[in-house]
Chains A and B, each alone.
Chain A
Amino acid sequence: MRVIVPLQAVVQGRGGLVLGSLIPCALFYFLQFYLRRNRPSSPPPPHSSASGSNLPELASIHRSLSRSLLSPRGSYGPARLSSRGTAVARDDDNPYYVGLKRCADDPYNRSTNPQGFLLLGLAENRLSLDIIQDWLVKNWKESVLLDDEEGELSIQGLATYQPYDGSMDLKTAVAEFMGQVMQGSVSFNPSHVVLTAGATPAVETLSFCLADPGDAFLVPSPYYPGWDRDIKWRAGVELIPVPCRSTDNFSISIAALELAYNQVKKRGMKVRAVLVSNPSNPVGSLIDRETLCGLLDFVMEKNIHLISDEIFAGSTYGSDKFVSVAEVLDAESFDKSRVHIIYGLSKDLSVPGFRVGVIYSYNENVLAAASKLARFSSISAPTQRLLISMLSDRKFIAKYLTVNRARLHDMHALFVDGLKQLGIKCASSSGGFYCWADMSMFIRPYSEKGELKLWDNLLNVAKVNVTPGSSCHCIEPGWFRCCFTTLTEKDVPTVLERIQKITKSN
C-alpha cells in the first residue's frame, strides 16, 4: 500500500516523484543485496563477465565470505578452481564441441563403419594429404631427424633450447610460403613473423598484446566459434558480434561497425580492435578491396587495431581473387602499425597436428611482446626442421597449392549442387573448407530453438554433425556450416541421403 500510493502520485504527477521513484528503487536494491548475500556459494555463470564489470568482484568477495562460513578450517568443502577454470570446465553444452565429441567416439568410415557419424563440423582438409605424403616418401632424406653421413644435422641441434618464437630459418620459410599462398601479390618479411604452436595460441597471444581484460573486440558475425575460447577464456577480452545479413551475402558493413562501436562505448567498455576472417569462416566469402580500405579507415579513425585472420588464404577456389590486407597496405598509405595478420599451416598445408601458427605484425612493440609470450606455445623443433625442408621446395609447394585448390573447387561444387537438389541454398563462397547452408525453411519455430532442434536431429538421428549458426553467433536462425573436406566423392551421396531424411520429415 505504502509503495503504491507514491507510485500513484508519480503517475498523477503530484509531488510523489521522489518517493515514487526512490522507494521502489531502494526496495529493488535491498532485494538484490539480500539475494546476493544469501546466494549459495557457486561460481558466477560463464557469461556474467560479459556485461557487468561489477559482477566478478562481487562474486569473488562473496565466495571468500561463504568459504569461511561453509568450509571452516579442517572441514571437507569442495576444492575450488578459479572462476576462469570453472567456466572452462563447464563449457560442455556448446554444440560445436558436443558434435565433435560424438563424431570422435563413432566416426564414419565408408568400409569399416558406414553407420558412423559424418564429420561435417570440423574444418579439416583431407583432400590433399596424399600429395604431401608422397613428397615425404620421396624426400625423407632431407627432412630426416639425423644425418649420419656428414654428422652435421644431429639431435643436438633439435633437442636443445631454440628461440621461443621460432627459428629464423622457419620464419623465412613460412614468410615465403605465405607469399606463395597469396599468389605473389604481396611478400612477407620474416622479421615480422612470430611463430606459435598453432593459430589458436596465435590469436590468444595477440589478444593479450592488444587488449586488457574487460576490453572488447568488434567481430562481424557469423564468426568462428573457437574465438570465444581463444580470446575470452584467459585473455578476458569480450567479443561483440556485429551482425551481417544474408541479404548482402553476409558482407561487412562499416556502418554496422560504427553503430556497434558507439553502443559499446556507451556501456563503458573499451573497444581495442576489429577482428575479421578473410576468407570468412563460416561463410567462405572474401572481403573485397573496398571493404578492406573501409576497415583500415575505420580503425585509424577510432585509434584501434585491425586483426585479419587469413588462415584460409591458400584454400580459395572461386573466381574471386583473394586480396590480403597486406596487399592493400602495400598499395595505399595506411598506418601499418595497427594491422596484424593471423595465419597458420593447419588449413592451407593440411597439417593441423603439427601446430604451426603465425602472428604477422607491422608493429615492433607488438612483435617484441608477442615473441616473449611465445614461450608458452613454441613449435616443436623436429617439426620446425621438417617444415623448413618441405616449405623450401617451392616447386612442390606451388604444385600442391594448385592441385589442392582444384580439388577444393570440385568438392565444393559437388557438395553445393547436391544440397541444391535437396532445396538447400548456400551463401556464395570462394574459399574455406565449408559451405554456409540456409536450412531455415526446415526449422520450426523460426528461432534459435528451432535451429538447435534441427541440429540435434541431424546429429542424433541422421548422424551428421554440422555446426549450427547460433554457435557462430549468426543473427538469422537456420544457417549451418557444413564442411566437405573430410569427405571423398563417394561419400557425398551418403551425406545428402542422410540430410534428406531429416529435411523430408520437416
Chain B
Amino acid sequence: MGVHDEEILSRVATGDGHGENSSYFDGWKAYDNDPFHPIHNPNGVIQMGLAENQLCLDLMQEWIRKNPQASICTKEGASEFKAIANFQDYHGLPDFRKAIGRFMEKARGGRARFDPERIVMSGGATGAQETIAFCLANPGDAFLIPTPYYPAFDRDFGWRTGVQLIPVRCHSHDNFKITEAELAAAYRKARDSKIRVKGILITNPSNPLGTTMDRETLRTLASFANEERIHLVCDEIFSGTVFDGPEYVSVAEILQEDPSICDGDLIHIVYSLSKDLGVPGFRVGIIYSYNDAVVSCARRMSSFGLVSTQTQRLLASMLGDDDFTTDFLAETRRRLMHRHRAFTAGLEGVGIRCLQSNAGLFCWMSLKPLLKDATAEAEVELWRVIVDEVKLNISPGSSFHCAEPGWFRACFANMDEDTMETALRRIRTFVRRADGAAAPRPKTKKRWDATLRLSLPRRLEELTVLTPRLMSPRSPLVQAAT
C-alpha cells in the first residue's frame, strides 16, 4: 500500500510539514511512555514541556458552579438549548465577542480598546495563525520571525499555507531583544534571494523567553513594517500572564497612542484563551485585525474553525462577569509570580541562571555550564540525559531555533507545588552530580537509542502508521487524576 499511496495522496499528507519529526516532540514521546504520577509512578518523566496554565482552574470551576444558567447542560440553562444549538452564524454570538473584547481590554489594564466587530473566531490560536497566514501571504512568501520562537509556528503558519518563516537572530548579550540592525539585515537578505517578505511575526509576551517587549522595540517594529509596507502579526496569547513589571505594552496600545506610527491595515493580533484562562480544550482562537479586508476574509475562513456555540455562551457569561474577570486576572498573576519565584529561586540555588522574565508559564534557563562544549550537538546530548536520566521533559533551545546552544525552556504552571518541588529536587541532584563528576558520564542507554533516535526515514515510516493521539499534548494533571 505504501508506494501506491505515495501516488494518490497529496504532498501535504505525505510530507513532514506537520513538524512532528522535531526533537520538540521526542520528549513528549518519552513522557507518554512513562508519565509521572505522585503515587502510581513517582519515578516517571515530569512534563515540563507543555505550556499549560492549570493554576487557576479552581476559580473557573467555582464560577461555573455558582452560575449554572451559563451552561446549557443544567436545569437553569437547558431552555436555551434550541437557540444555541441552531446558531451557526460565523459572526459568532454578539455577547461572546463583546465579552472577549472586554477581557482583552482588562488584560491590558484598560490601556487599549477593542472593537467587538473586529473579533473573528478560529480553531484555537493554531487555527488563527494559519488563517492569518492564508489571508496575508501566498505560497512561497515569507514572514520574518525573531528567534527563539515557538516551534509549532513552522507548522501552524506554514504547513498548508506554503508560507516560510525566516529567523531573525536574537542574542543573549542583548537579553534576546530584537534589534533593528538584525531585522533590516534579515529583510535585505531575503529580498536579495528573491523571497517576498510579507510581514513580521512576533509573540509578545514571548514564548519561550517569558519577557514582554518594551515600548521602543514595538515602535521600531511598527515603523519598520510601515516603512516596508509589510504586515505585523502579534501573537498576544500570553497577555494575561504578565505577573511582574515592567508593565505590559500591547501593539494595540502603540497604535492607539500614536496612529501615525503605522498604517492600521498592517497590524493584526492573534489571541486565545488557552493560556490566560487555561482552557485549551475549549478551542477558542481569536483574530483581531485593524484591516477591514482581513477581518472580512478571516471571518469567512472562520467557517473552518468556529467555536462551539455552547462554549461561546458559557464564555460570554463568564467573561461578561466583570467582578470575576478582575479577580481572576489578579489571582492568576499572583499565583504565577509565586510559582515563578519559587522555581527560579530553586534553580538559582544550584547555580542555574534564568533569563529575567515577567510573564508566561515557563522560564528560559541557561544550562551552558553543563554543556560539554558550546555546540548544538552537546545541547541535544545534555537534553537526552535530562529526559532519560533526570526524567524531566524540558525543551531544548534548538527546537526553538535559538542561535546559541545551552538554553532550555521549563514550564512550571501545569503542575502542583509538590510536583514542582520534586522536579527541583531532581535538578539539584543532577547538577551536584555533574559538578562532582570528573569523568564524562556513561553514554545514553540502548533503550533511548532504540525508541528516540532522530533518523528521518524511520520516523516517517512510524508516522504513516496510525498514531493520531501520541502527538497531541496531554496534560500531566489529567493523567494524575486517573
Chain A contact residues, CB within 8 Å of chain B: 60, 64, 67, 71, 73-74, 76-79, 81-86, 88-89, 91, 104, 124, 126, 129-130, 132-133, 136-137, 140, 143-146, 148, 154-165, 168, 191, 194, 197-198, 200-201, 204, 208-213, 215, 229-230, 233-235, 272, 303-305, 337-338, 346, 350-355, 363-373, 375-383, 386
- B residues in contact with A303, CB < 8 Å: 7-8
Whether B160 contacts A159 by the Cβ 8 Å rule is no
Residues of A within 8 A of B330 (CB): none
A353-B310, A364-B466 provided; 19 other pairs, C-beta below 8 A? Answer: A79-B265, A81-B294, A82-B198, A89-B296, A137-B78, A140-B78, A145-B314, A156-B475, A158-B282, A163-B469, A165-B469, A197-B283, A353-B87, A353-B308, A365-B5, A369-B9, A369-B18, A380-B282, A386-B72
Asked if B205 is at the interface of the complex by the 8 Å CB criterion, the answer is no
User: Given A124-B86, A355-B306, A380-B307, A208–B301 Cβ distance below 8 Å?
Assistant: no
Give the CA-CA distance A301 to B359 in the complex, in Å: 59
Tell me the complex Cα distance, A381–B475, Å.
14
For the complex of A and B, 5 pairs with smallest distance between CB atoms:
A371-B468, A353-B309, A381-B281, A160-B475, A79-B265
Say whether B380 faces chain A, with CB atoms less than 8 Å apart: no
Q: Which of B109-117, B123-131, B168-176 contacts A (4 or more CB under 8 A)?
A: B123-131
B240 to chain A, nearest CB (A): 15
Contact call B474/A380, Cβ cutoff below 8 A: no
Q: Is the CB of A364 within 8 A of B465?
A: yes
Q: Which residues of A contact B14 (CB under 8 A)?
A: 365, 369
Q: How far is the CA of A211 from the CA of B11 in the complex (A)?
A: 8
Report the nearest B residue to A207, measured CB to CB. Answer: B10
- Using known A-B contacts A82-B135, A136-B73, A346-B88, determine if residue A381 contacts B282 with beta carbons closer than 8 Å: yes
- Given A126-B86, A137-B79, A369-B13: A382 and B303 within 8 A (CB)? no
A382-B310 CB under 8 A given contacts A144-B74, A145-B64: yes
Q: How far is the CA of A368 from the CA of B130 in the complex (A)?
A: 20
A161 and B13 form a contact (CB under 8 A): no
Contact assessment for B308 and A137 in the assembled complex, using a CB-CB cutoff below 8 Å: no
Contact A367 B468 (CB under 8 A): yes
Of B13, B85, B475, the residue contacting A366 (CB under 8 A) is: B13
Partner of A377, one of B8, B71, B134, B304: B304
Asked whether, in the complex, the Cβ of A368 is within 8 Å of the Cβ of B464, the reply is yes
Closest to A133 in B: B81
Answer whether A132 and B263 are a contact pair too, CB < 8 Å, given A64-B196, A85-B136, A210-B8: no
Q: Does B300 belong to the interface (CB within 8 Å)?
A: yes
B161 to chain A: which residues have CB within 8 Å? Answer: 234
Which residues of the other chain, B, contact A337 by a CB distance below 8 angstroms? 1, 5
CB of A43 to closest CB in B, whole Å: 10
Instruction: Determine if B73 and A143 form an interchain contact, defined as CB atoms under 8 angstroms apart.
Output: yes
Q: Is the CB of A86 within 8 A of B293?
A: yes
The residue among B228, B280, B472 with the most chain A CB atoms within 10 A of its own CB is: B472
Contact A377 B468, CB 8 Å, known A200-B304, A201-B305, A365-B14: no
Q: For B13, give its contact among A74, A210, A215 (CB under 8 Å).
A: A210
Cα A152 to Cα B476 with chains together (Å): 16
Asked if residues B281 and A368 are in contact (CB atoms below 8 Å), the reply is no
Provide the residues of chain A in CB contact with B229, threshold 8 Å: 67, 71, 73, 77, 79
Question: In the complex, are the beta carbons of A198 and B282 less than 8 A apart?
Answer: no
Taking a contact as CB atoms under 8 Å apart, the answer to whether A233 and B301 are in contact is yes
- Which B residues between 121 and 180 are near A, CB-CB below 8 angstroms? 123-124, 126-127, 130, 134-139, 141, 156, 160-161
Structural contact, A133 and B79, CB atoms closer than 8 A? yes
Name A160's contact: one of B52, B86, B310, B467 (CB within 8 Å).
Answer: B52
Tell whether, in the assembled complex, residue B227 and residue A73 are in contact, meaning their CB atoms are under 8 Å apart.
yes
Are A79 and B227 in contact, with the CB atoms below 8 A? no
- Are A338 and B8 within 8 A (Cβ)? yes
0/1 interface trace, chain B 251-266, chain A, CB 8 Å (1 if under):
0000000000001011
Q: Are B305 and A85 in contact, with the CB atoms below 8 A?
A: no
Q: What range describes how many residues of B lie at the interface?
A: 35 or more
Interface hub of A104, A144, A165, A346 (most chain B Cβ within 10 A):
A144
Per the bound structure, the CA–CA distance linking A76 and B226 in Å amounts to 9
Does B397 sit at the interface, judged by CB under 8 A? Answer: no
Tell me the bound Cα distance from A303 to B6 in angstroms. Answer: 12
* Inter-chain contact total with CB atoms closer than 8 Å: 304
Interchain CB contact under 8 A, A160 and B136: no
Query: Is B376 close to A, CB under 8 A?
Result: no
Q: Whole-angstrom distance from the CB of A111 to the nearest CB of chain B?
A: 16
Of the residues B123, B278, B308, contact of A354 by C-beta under 8 Å: B308
**Complex contact B478–A157 (CB within 8 A):** yes
Can you give 30 A-B contacts (C-beta < 8 A)? A71-B229, A73-B228, A82-B141, A84-B138, A140-B75, A144-B73, A144-B74, A145-B73, A156-B477, A158-B281, A160-B54, A161-B50, A164-B472, A191-B466, A197-B304, A197-B305, A197-B306, A200-B304, A201-B304, A210-B10, A230-B304, A364-B1, A365-B13, A366-B9, A376-B124, A376-B127, A376-B130, A376-B304, A378-B123, A383-B310
Once the chains bind, are A376 and B281 in contact (CB under 8 Å)?
no
From A73, A86, A91, A159, contact of B279 by CB (8 A): A159
A160 and B73 contact, CB distance less than 8 A: no
Residue of B nearest to A383 (CB): B308
**A159-B57, A160-B280 known; A198 vs B306 contact (CB < 8 Å):** yes
- Give every chain A residue within 8 A of B89 (Cβ-Cβ): 104
The 8 A CB mask of B86-122 against A (1 = contact, 0 = none) is: 1111000000000000000000000000000000000
The answer to whether A148 touches B65, judged by C-beta atoms less than 8 angstroms apart, is yes
Contact of A305 among B8, B463, B478 (CB under 8 A): B8
Chain B residues with CB below 8 A from A158, complex form: 279, 281-282
> Do A209 and B311 have beta carbons less than 8 Å apart?
no
**Nearest-CB distance from A354 to chain B (Å)?**
5
Given A82-B138, A144-B71: A368 in contact with B8 (beta carbons within 8 A): no
A161 CB contacts on chain B under 8 angstroms: 50, 52, 280-281, 472-475
Give the distance to chain B from A207, nearest Cβ to Cβ, in Å: 8
Q: Which of B82, B84, B85, B136 has the most CB of A within 10 A?
A: B85
Q: Which residues of A contact B141 (CB under 8 A)?
A: 82
B439 at the interface (CB under 8 A from A): no
Instruction: Tell me the bound Cα distance from A229 to B134 in angstroms.
Output: 14
Residue of A with least CB distance to B198: A82
B2 nearest in chain A by CB position: A365
**A250: shortest Cβ distance to chain B, in Å?**
27
Inter-subunit contact B10/A89 (CB<8 Å): no
Chain B 271-294 interface residues, beta-carbon cutoff 8 Å to A = 278-284, 291, 293-294
Chain A residue nearest to B303 in the complex (CB): A200
Which of B124, B281, B303 has the most chain A CB atoms inside 10 A of its CB? B281
A281 to B444, CA, bound (A): 59
Inter-chain contacts of A377 with B (CB < 8 A): 123, 127, 304-305
A residues within 8 A CB of B478? 156-157, 160
> Of B85, B196, B284, B306, which contacts A129 at CB under 8 A?
B85
* Chain A residues near B472 (CB-CB < 8 A): 161-165, 375
Task: Give chain A residues whose Cβ lies under 8 Å from the Cβ of B265.
Answer: 78-79
Q: Which residue of B lies closest to A126 (CB)?
A: B86
Instruction: Tell me whether B454 is interfacial, beta carbon within 8 Å.
Output: no
Q: Which residues of B contact A130 (CB under 8 A)?
A: 82
**B450-482, CB < 8 A from A:** 463-469, 471-475, 477-478, 481
**Least CB distance, A214 to chain B, in whole angstroms:** 11
- Give every chain A residue within 8 A of B370 (Cβ-Cβ): none
Question: Are the CB atoms of A85 and B85 closer together than 8 Å?
Answer: no
